[in-house]
């Protein structure tokens, strides 16, 4: 029973690849062993290669998850550093200047509140909207 690798395994999104666990892989491997042709058993090298591929996929998934966590922490640190500073933000093509007066971290990514020179508040400003920091 020949098994070929597929490029689609690594091409999925993070949510798709996280659905496959080591238990699922072992079930597939067990089914493969149970259903193989006894006259043409699968070579041990193929099993080792399959296990190595799965281990690499799992390590990549874990690395991506850790990098996402690190990026979330970094954006929070950047937002905290902007508290009290004057920023220019792009609001749908309009430039707004003001001081960062508050942060909201409840959504998982920092959202700032800007207080303009006239005293008006602009809420829900993301880091990607910041054009300049003074």
pLDDT in tens, 42-66: 677 777 887 888 888 889 989 999 9
Structure tokens at 9: 């395994």
From residue 67, give the alpha-carbon distance in Å to each of 13, 17, 64, 70, 74.
15, 16, 5, 5, 10
Half-sphere exposure of 1 (CA within 13 A, CB side): 13
Q: What is the pLDDT along the chain (134 residues), one digit of tens a residue?
A: 444 444 444 444 444 445 667 788 778 878 877 887 777 776 777 778 878 888 888 899 899 999 998 998 898 898 898 899 999 999 888 898 999 999 988 888 899 999 988 888 989 999 889 998 88
Strands 86-91 and 130-133: antiparallel
Record the pTM. 0.56
């Amino acid at each position: 029973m020949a098994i070929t690798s597929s490029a689609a395994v690594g091409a999925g999104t993070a949510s798709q690849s996280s659905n496959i666990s080591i238990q699922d892989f072992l079930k597939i491997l067990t089914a493969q062993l149970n259903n193989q042709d006894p006259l043409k058993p699968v070579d041990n090298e193929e099993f080792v290669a399959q296990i190595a591929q799965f281990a690499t996929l799992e390590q990549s998934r874990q690395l991506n998850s850790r990098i996402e966590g690190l990026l979330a922490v970094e954006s929070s640190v950047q937002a905290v550093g902007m508290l009290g500073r004057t920023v220019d933000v792009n609001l749908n093509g309009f430039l707004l200047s003001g001081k960062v007066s508050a942060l909201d971290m409840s959504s998982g990514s920092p959202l700032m509140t800007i207080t303009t020179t006239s005293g008006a508040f602009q809420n829900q400003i993301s880091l990607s909207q910041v054009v300049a920091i003074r």
